[in-house]
Amino acid sequence: MSKLKLTGKQIRAIGYPEGPVVSVAMHVMCTKFKHHSEADALEILKQLLNAPENYLNDETLKPIAEKLMPQPEAEGQTISLNQTGIQFNVFGQEHIEEGARQQMYQAAKLPISVAGALMPDAHSGYGLPIGGVLATENAVIPYGVGVDIGCRMCLSIYDIDPKELTQRESFFAREIGEATLFGSGQQFDEATNHEVMDNELFYQLPLLKNLHGRAWKQLGSSGSGNHFVEFGVIEIGEKDAVLGVEAGNYVGLLSHSGSRALGANIANHYTKLAISKRRLPQEAKNLAWLSLDEEEGIEYWNAMNLAGDYASACHHVIHGKIAKQLGRKPMTMVENHHNFAWKEMYEGREVIVHRKGATPAGKDALGIIPGSMTAPGFIVKGKGEAASVNSASHGAGRKMSRTRAMESVTDKQFKEELQKHGVKLLGGGKDESPFAYKDIEVVMQSQQTLVDVLGKFTPKIVKMDGAQHKSWRKKKEEEVMGE
């Protein structure tokens, strides 16, 4: 039997409007109904067009139905932005693109904004720029948090001679490969048990209930983009009372990933709700917020915190598997996360602090600020600087888009850079090459008033997604960059 073929012209001819719904309908019908006749397929599409609400619970046809449903209009009058906006500090201004600064100026004009700062690794995003910090009054902005909710750094420090990374390179490389999965949409065949999956919110909120099974199968996976798991050399110059590790050289296991499909679905669902409730000028549309006094805001806050716990669990599953194979426990673990919102005190009152691609740097707070697959990362301790709203950068920050990196970096340059730094790369691609990132040393110099450096991590065996990114399908590049 020949496979079904439909054209956009045929779908529009039966009454479908111009727009994304046509391509969605064509894809669904030609993949899920490929053995139907053309007439039968078009009849299904006609019935769906006449009553899309009847198909919202149909897992196969739901994507088409959702596109056909009328989009909610934002409630009430357009909310005006303030004329001037709050003052905010910019760290490393000379290294930050104009687009990121303009996005921060927009956020500063929101009527809910209280304080803000822009980190030295900042670049353009959606809603807040990546590297943007914004404190608000009793309100949370889903796109101020970001799509990859609770994206996290996790470092295990082992009392192992770093020479073993070279002497037993194949062993360490194998353990990374067996401990996690990389790639967008990847799932394990067997789910890992973890208490986070028993959280009652999974059974109370319909959105989360529908995501529970997939989230379980993705627990301990690492995704794509700039996410990684890597072994490297830890150098501690002198013992710090908070870190508690003696001066010396050690082996470090460092991972970077977030809340996978769970976080992305939460972000997109509640962003749509926020936009429907807060009519903002077009240029500020993605900064729509939810009040923590309203049901939707409370729901998002709870779901966001669950996604953060889930992201943490993913790292602990990975680190636990590798610790078992190493046959020893780490001396200590250091963790921090970004793409999140916290309730904190600022100038004597409680505010909601959004850190989108920014690291918490409150007094004595430990964290890790990575460089790139060849550049060093740093173990840091926050100084609690009010000028940055107790924040620091979350990495080196991109200076090239993925597309530009793919086009401008040659395979020869990429290979030579890895060899120069003695890095074994498992997967990964030119879109994540060291040339795509700012100089981490310059970024760290720009935030000397924000953090103290306690140690250095130099990558040696790096595992990333190995997919060949031929087309980004008009994705929000900032999301893939690591919002």
Spatial separation of the C-alpha atoms in residues 333 and 331, rounded to whole Å:
7
Spatial separation of the C-alpha atoms in residues 199 and 204, rounded to whole Å:
9
Q: How far is CA 90 from CA 77, 139, 275, in A?
A: 33, 23, 28
Q: Domain residues of the chain, as ranges?
A: 8-68, 145-482
Residue pair 436/123 in contact (Cβ under 8 Å)? The answer is: no
Return the ∠ at Cα 74 (arms to 272 and 47), rounded to 5°. 65
Return the ∠ at Cα 481 (arms to 480 and 483), rounded to 5°. 85
Residue pair 337/151 in contact (Cβ under 8 Å)? The answer is: yes
Q: Token digits for 370?
A: 């990575």
Q: What is the pLDDT of residue 471?
A: 33
**Which residue(s) pair with 150 in the sheet?**
none
- pLDDT by residue for the chain (483 residues), tens only, comes to 578 888 888 888 888 877 778 888 988 988 889 888 999 999 999 888 888 888 888 888 998 988 888 666 555 667 889 988 999 999 999 889 898 999 999 999 999 999 999 999 999 888 899 999 999 999 999 999 999 999 999 999 999 999 999 999 999 999 999 999 998 888 998 889 899 999 999 999 999 999 999 999 999 999 888 999 999 999 999 999 999 999 999 999 999 999 999 999 999 999 999 999 999 998 899 999 999 999 999 999 999 999 999 999 999 999 999 999 999 999 999 999 999 999 999 999 999 999 999 999 999 999 999 999 999 999 999 999 999 999 999 999 998 888 888 889 999 999 999 999 999 999 988 999 999 999 999 999 999 999 999 999 999 999 999 755 433 333 333 333 344
Q: What is the pLDDT of residue 403?
A: 83
Q: Which CATH class is domain 145-482?
A: alpha beta
Q: What is the pLDDT of residue 79?
A: 87
Return the ∠ at Cα 280 (arms to 80 and 273), rounded to 5°. 140
Q: What is the pLDDT of residue 77?
A: 66
**Beta carbons within 8 Å of 135's beta carbon, 6+ residues apart:** 113, 114, 115, 116, 344, 346, 351, 352, 353, 354, 389
First to last CA, the chain: 46
Spatial separation of the C-alpha atoms in residues 278 and 172, rounded to whole Å:
50
Q: What is the pTM of this model?
A: 0.82
Q: What is the pLDDT of residue 9?
A: 83
**φ, ψ for residue 132 (rounded to 5)?**
-95, 140
Residue pair 398/481 in contact (Cβ under 8 Å)? The answer is: yes
Q: What is the pLDDT of residue 474?
A: 35
- Tokens 């209930």 sit at which residue? 209
Residue pair 131/123 in contact (Cβ under 8 Å)? The answer is: yes
With 0-12 / 13-18 / 19 or more C-beta atoms within 10 angstroms meaning exposed / middle / buried, residue 228 is buried
Q: How far is CA 226 from CA 384, 396, 445, 477, in A?
A: 28, 12, 23, 12
Spatial separation of the C-alpha atoms in residues 292 and 305, rounded to whole Å:
14
**Count of other CB atoms within 10 angstroms of residue 250:** 23
Q: What is the pLDDT of residue 475?
A: 38
SS (H, E, C) the chain: CCCCCCCHHHHHHCCCCCCHHHHHHHHHHHHHCCCCCHHHHHHHHHHHHHCHHHHCCCCCCHHHHHHHCCCCCCCCCCCCCCCCCCCCEECCHHHCCHHHHHHHHHHHCCCCEEEEEEEEEEECCCCCCEEEEEEECCEECHHHHCCCCCCEEEEEEECCCCCHHHHCHHHHHHHHHHHCCECCCCCCCCCCCCHHHHCCHHHHCHHHHHHHHHHHHHCCCCECCCCEEEEEEEEECCCCCCCCCCCEEEEEEEEEECCHHHHHHHHHHHHHHHHHHCCCCHHHHHHCCEECCCHHHHHHHHHHHHHHHHHHHHHHHHHHHHHHHHCCCCCEEEEEECCEEEEEEECCEEEEEEEECEEECCCCCEEEECCCCCCCEEEEEECCCHHHCCEEECCCCECCCHHHHHHHCCHHHHHHHHHHCCCEEECCCHHHCHHHECCHHHHHHCCCCCEEEEEEEEEEEEECCCCCCCCCCCCCHHHHHHC
